[in-house]
Structure 1
Protein backbone atom coordinates (compact mmCIF):
# COMPACT_ATOMS: atom_id res chain seq x y z
CA UNK A 1 0.00 0.00 0.00
CA UNK A 2 1.35 3.41 -1.01
CA UNK A 3 1.17 6.06 1.72
CA UNK A 4 2.11 8.92 -0.60
CA UNK A 5 -0.62 11.57 -0.85
CA UNK A 6 -2.23 12.08 -4.25
CA UNK A 7 -4.75 14.30 -5.91
CA UNK A 8 -6.20 14.65 -9.40
CA UNK A 9 -3.90 17.64 -10.01
CA UNK A 10 -0.83 15.66 -8.94
CA UNK A 11 -1.80 12.83 -11.30
CA UNK A 12 -2.20 15.32 -14.15
CA UNK A 13 1.23 16.76 -13.42
CA UNK A 14 2.79 13.28 -13.36
CA UNK A 15 1.14 12.50 -16.69
CA UNK A 16 2.43 15.79 -18.14
CA UNK A 17 5.92 14.94 -16.85
CA UNK A 18 5.88 11.53 -18.61
CA UNK A 19 4.69 13.16 -21.85
CA UNK A 20 7.45 15.79 -21.68
CA UNK A 21 10.10 13.12 -21.01
CA UNK A 22 8.92 11.38 -24.16
CA UNK A 23 9.16 14.64 -26.10
CA UNK A 24 12.70 15.28 -24.84
CA UNK A 25 13.71 11.76 -25.84
CA UNK A 26 12.23 12.31 -29.32
CA UNK A 27 14.07 15.63 -29.66
CA UNK A 28 17.32 13.93 -28.68
CA UNK A 29 16.75 11.31 -31.40
CA UNK A 30 16.10 14.06 -33.96
CA UNK A 31 19.30 15.85 -32.90
CA UNK A 32 21.34 12.66 -33.25
CA UNK A 33 19.81 11.98 -36.67
CA UNK A 34 20.66 15.50 -37.86
CA UNK A 35 24.22 15.22 -36.50
CA UNK A 36 24.57 11.92 -38.36
CA UNK A 37 23.46 13.59 -41.60
CA UNK A 38 25.90 16.48 -41.10
CA UNK A 39 28.80 14.14 -40.35
CA UNK A 40 28.02 12.02 -43.38
CA UNK A 41 27.75 15.09 -45.62
CA UNK A 42 31.04 16.45 -44.26
CA UNK A 43 32.79 13.14 -44.92
CA UNK A 44 31.86 13.41 -48.61
CA UNK A 45 33.29 16.92 -49.03
CA UNK A 46 36.68 17.05 -50.73
CA UNK A 47 39.61 18.02 -48.55
CA UNK A 48 40.80 21.57 -49.10
CA UNK A 49 44.05 21.67 -51.04
CA UNK A 50 46.79 24.08 -50.11
CA UNK A 51 47.80 25.69 -46.85
CA UNK A 52 45.50 25.91 -43.84
CA UNK A 53 46.99 29.23 -42.70
CA UNK A 54 48.47 32.27 -44.41
CA UNK A 55 50.53 35.23 -43.27
CA UNK A 56 49.13 38.47 -44.61
CA UNK A 57 51.48 41.31 -45.51
CA UNK A 58 50.84 45.02 -45.75
CA UNK A 59 52.97 47.44 -47.75
CA UNK A 60 54.58 50.05 -45.52
CA UNK A 61 56.90 52.46 -47.27
CA UNK A 62 57.25 50.11 -50.21
CA UNK A 63 58.37 47.25 -47.97
CA UNK A 64 56.26 44.24 -47.03
CA UNK A 65 55.42 44.11 -43.31
CA UNK A 66 53.93 40.99 -41.71
CA UNK A 67 50.48 41.97 -40.49
CA UNK A 68 48.36 39.02 -39.40
CA UNK A 69 47.77 35.27 -39.52
CA UNK A 70 44.56 34.06 -41.20
CA UNK A 71 42.82 30.84 -42.05
CA UNK A 72 43.51 30.26 -45.74
CA UNK A 73 39.89 30.83 -46.78
CA UNK A 74 39.43 34.10 -44.83
CA UNK A 75 37.95 36.92 -46.89
CA UNK A 76 39.87 39.54 -44.91
CA UNK A 77 43.29 38.38 -46.08
CA UNK A 78 45.30 40.86 -48.15
CA UNK A 79 46.51 40.18 -51.67
CA UNK A 80 50.04 39.68 -50.40
CA UNK A 81 50.32 36.42 -48.48
CA UNK A 82 52.67 33.62 -47.60
CA UNK A 83 51.44 30.07 -46.88
CA UNK A 84 52.13 28.80 -43.36
CA UNK A 85 52.18 25.36 -41.83
CA UNK A 86 50.29 24.83 -38.59
CA UNK A 87 53.54 25.03 -36.59
CA UNK A 88 54.60 28.25 -38.32
CA UNK A 89 51.19 29.83 -37.70
CA UNK A 90 51.27 28.79 -34.05
CA UNK A 91 54.75 30.25 -33.62
CA UNK A 92 53.77 33.50 -35.36
CA UNK A 93 50.71 34.01 -33.15
CA UNK A 94 52.26 32.97 -29.84
CA UNK A 95 55.82 34.27 -29.90
CA UNK A 96 56.26 35.96 -33.26
CA UNK A 97 54.41 39.13 -32.31
CA UNK A 98 51.95 38.78 -35.19
CA UNK A 99 48.27 39.18 -34.45
CA UNK A 100 45.61 36.66 -35.34
CA UNK A 101 42.77 37.82 -37.57
CA UNK A 102 39.79 38.85 -35.47
CA UNK A 103 37.36 37.66 -38.12
CA UNK A 104 38.47 34.10 -38.94
CA UNK A 105 40.14 33.50 -35.54
CA UNK A 106 43.03 31.18 -36.46
CA UNK A 107 44.14 31.38 -32.81
CA UNK A 108 41.00 29.46 -31.83
CA UNK A 109 41.67 26.88 -34.54
CA UNK A 110 45.24 26.58 -33.27
CA UNK A 111 44.11 26.14 -29.66
CA UNK A 112 45.66 29.37 -28.41
CA UNK A 113 43.79 31.10 -25.62
CA UNK A 114 43.99 34.87 -25.50
Structure 2
Protein backbone atom coordinates (compact mmCIF):
# COMPACT_ATOMS: atom_id res chain seq x y z
CA UNK A 1 0.00 0.00 0.00
CA UNK A 2 1.34 3.43 -0.93
CA UNK A 3 -0.01 6.89 -0.34
CA UNK A 4 1.17 8.09 -3.76
CA UNK A 5 -1.10 8.33 -6.80
CA UNK A 6 -0.96 5.24 -9.04
CA UNK A 7 -0.68 7.04 -12.40
CA UNK A 8 2.03 9.15 -14.01
CA UNK A 9 0.00 12.38 -14.65
CA UNK A 10 -0.97 12.73 -11.00
CA UNK A 11 2.58 11.90 -9.89
CA UNK A 12 3.90 14.68 -12.19
CA UNK A 13 1.34 17.11 -10.73
CA UNK A 14 2.39 16.16 -7.21
CA UNK A 15 6.06 16.59 -8.17
CA UNK A 16 5.37 20.08 -9.53
CA UNK A 17 3.46 21.07 -6.39
CA UNK A 18 6.26 19.76 -4.15
CA UNK A 19 8.90 21.67 -6.13
CA UNK A 20 6.88 24.87 -5.83
CA UNK A 21 6.37 24.32 -2.10
CA UNK A 22 10.09 23.62 -1.64
CA UNK A 23 10.97 26.86 -3.47
CA UNK A 24 8.62 28.83 -1.20
CA UNK A 25 10.36 27.34 1.85
CA UNK A 26 13.80 28.15 0.43
CA UNK A 27 12.70 31.72 -0.37
CA UNK A 28 11.43 32.19 3.19
CA UNK A 29 14.69 30.81 4.63
CA UNK A 30 16.66 33.25 2.45
CA UNK A 31 14.46 36.15 3.61
CA UNK A 32 14.97 35.27 7.27
CA UNK A 33 18.73 34.86 6.81
CA UNK A 34 18.87 38.26 5.09
CA UNK A 35 16.88 39.86 7.93
CA UNK A 36 19.21 38.31 10.51
CA UNK A 37 22.29 39.65 8.68
CA UNK A 38 20.73 43.13 8.52
CA UNK A 39 19.88 43.00 12.23
CA UNK A 40 23.42 41.92 13.11
CA UNK A 41 24.89 44.64 10.88
CA UNK A 42 22.64 47.22 12.56
CA UNK A 43 23.70 46.03 16.02
CA UNK A 44 27.36 46.30 15.07
CA UNK A 45 26.89 49.81 13.64
CA UNK A 46 24.85 51.13 16.58
CA UNK A 47 26.76 53.78 18.48
CA UNK A 48 27.52 52.98 22.11
CA UNK A 49 25.17 54.26 24.80
CA UNK A 50 26.70 57.36 26.38
CA UNK A 51 27.31 57.39 30.12
CA UNK A 52 25.62 60.80 30.54
CA UNK A 53 23.21 62.95 28.54
CA UNK A 54 21.79 66.43 28.82
CA UNK A 55 18.17 66.95 27.79
CA UNK A 56 17.62 70.22 25.95
CA UNK A 57 14.62 72.55 26.02
CA UNK A 58 12.36 73.55 23.15
CA UNK A 59 12.77 76.69 21.06
CA UNK A 60 15.58 79.02 20.09
CA UNK A 61 17.14 79.05 23.55
CA UNK A 62 17.26 75.25 23.86
CA UNK A 63 19.01 75.50 27.19
CA UNK A 64 19.70 72.35 29.20
CA UNK A 65 16.77 71.08 31.26
CA UNK A 66 17.96 67.86 32.90
CA UNK A 67 21.04 65.72 33.32
CA UNK A 68 20.40 61.99 32.79
CA UNK A 69 22.39 58.80 32.91
CA UNK A 70 22.90 57.37 29.45
CA UNK A 71 20.41 54.56 30.01
CA UNK A 72 17.62 56.68 31.53
CA UNK A 73 14.25 55.85 29.99
CA UNK A 74 12.87 59.28 30.91
CA UNK A 75 15.31 61.27 28.75
CA UNK A 76 13.46 62.98 25.90
CA UNK A 77 14.42 63.03 22.24
CA UNK A 78 16.18 66.38 22.50
CA UNK A 79 19.29 65.18 24.25
CA UNK A 80 22.98 65.10 23.57
CA UNK A 81 25.71 62.89 24.99
CA UNK A 82 28.19 64.57 27.35
CA UNK A 83 31.22 63.57 29.34
CA UNK A 84 31.10 62.95 33.07
CA UNK A 85 32.83 66.28 33.63
CA UNK A 86 30.29 68.17 31.52
CA UNK A 87 27.39 66.47 33.32
CA UNK A 88 28.87 67.33 36.73
CA UNK A 89 29.52 70.91 35.62
CA UNK A 90 25.91 71.24 34.41
CA UNK A 91 24.54 70.09 37.78
CA UNK A 92 26.94 72.44 39.58
CA UNK A 93 25.67 75.25 37.33
CA UNK A 94 22.06 74.58 38.37
CA UNK A 95 20.74 72.17 35.74
CA UNK A 96 18.37 69.75 37.43
CA UNK A 97 19.23 66.08 37.70
CA UNK A 98 16.59 63.60 36.56
CA UNK A 99 14.57 62.33 39.51
CA UNK A 100 14.21 58.89 37.91
CA UNK A 101 17.80 57.96 37.13
CA UNK A 102 19.28 60.11 39.91
CA UNK A 103 22.18 61.34 37.78
CA UNK A 104 23.28 63.61 40.63
CA UNK A 105 23.84 60.60 42.89
CA UNK A 106 25.82 58.86 40.16
CA UNK A 107 27.96 61.96 39.82
CA UNK A 108 28.58 62.13 43.56
CA UNK A 109 26.39 65.13 44.43
CA UNK A 110 24.36 63.33 47.13
TM-score category, normalised to shorter length: 0.5 to 0.7
Give how far 1:78 is off: 0.9
Q: Which deviations, in whole Å up to 9, do the C-alpha atoms of 1:56-98 show, x marking residues without a partner? A: 01204x542210000011111010111110111111111x210
The total of aligned residue pairs comes to 64
Quote the residue 1:92 is aligned against.
Answer: 90
Q: Is the 8 A contact 1:55 1:70 kept in 2?
A: yes
User: Structure 2 regions of 5+ residues with no counterpart?
Assistant: 1-46
Richer in strand (by share): 1
Structure index of larger Rg? 2
Give how far 1:50 is off: 3.6
Q: Is the 8 A contact 1:58 1:78 kept in 2?
A: no
Q: CA RMSD in A?
A: 1.7
Q: 1:49-68 maps to which residues of 2 (within 5 A)?
A: 49-60=48-59, 62-68=60-66
User: Structure 1 regions of 5+ residues with no counterpart?
Assistant: 1-47
Runs of 4+ in 1 over 2 A off after TM superposition: none
Quote the residue 2:109 is aligned against.
Answer: 112
